[in-house]
Chains A and B, each alone.
Chain A
């Protein structure tokens, strides 16, 4: 069980995909305008990553090395299509606001990266731990960014239609620039600098 915990914990902080490895930034920045989107995206992403890690670790000894990348891409694309169709069917509002960033999970470097670097070389249990760790790492980064953007950009905090909290003084005149695309660049830039200042090694 020792290696399970180790593989699980690694993705959460030490090799966090967003803040440490700087991978898969496109969805993180694009849909982090509200907490709803962040939660939806994280769940969709983790489902795809978990399923792809499980399948790839199961077939890892049967795929010829030379065609492994196309095989991985087809598996990931199929899983993404399933998640996309399920979202469209069961939560159409969320599917609409996430838009094309759901099908674009296919080209997210994290998922193909984990398939190539981890799942194709390790046992299924370890791959599950790895996927869950990376998924949680992705989720907390995404939720943190969207929390900052939503609090400053709208002045209040809503989650799935329920109003939770209004920032004193910001409720009536929010800093709308945080909802614009450049707000995302600013938030992640400042967060990266903050982590570095706190002594966490980020980047490349």
Chain B
């Protein structure tokens, strides 16, 4: 890696090289856990050590044929998709409203809307446990979907809000002056333009629910155990290689989500560039 042209003195070059060395070590630190766990899931042995005795897909086979793991994957998908849908609906409406609303209470409302991100998971979980138990929402899908929606909606408000900031409100006015009803204008003019923000918001919301475990620990019955919840008990009891297979599957989902988000971001930037 070559140093920037501005580095002329030897001491600057030393400092730059030190930056590279330290950064490389940090990159290794960041990637090591993910890279170390992946090959273990393909091991033919049942010990989580290197060198691998041989390669096999037996732990994936184990995962796919385990009723418990498959049920948890299904639960994660159901709760993730449902809460992402609900948060996109609520979050987009709120972002549209917040973009136009002018009031001295706006910072307060914004703080309330975004607070689920900051409040520690245990506090939210304990509160929900107390609040939902008397009305029969603990140990139910509905309770978990509602709870995850509350956690995920701030991300939709943020991403859609960011897209709306670069949105030219004159376009909505133009549509209205040409006789479009507000709903028609939203569907044909606003929605297509904020769609990338909406999609990233949906992915963020899904990822939030898909990764959440504290609320699930408090609220889920045996029927609603999600993939992270199953991993939590697995890690607590005894880490079997099946968990590493589950981990690789979870990581693959994350990579797909990340790649999609990145593609959306690039597309959005390209569109913005064309507009300017």
Chain A partners chain B? no
Q: Residues of A with Cβ closer than 8 Å to B?
A: none
Q: Residues of B with Cβ closer than 8 Å to A?
A: none
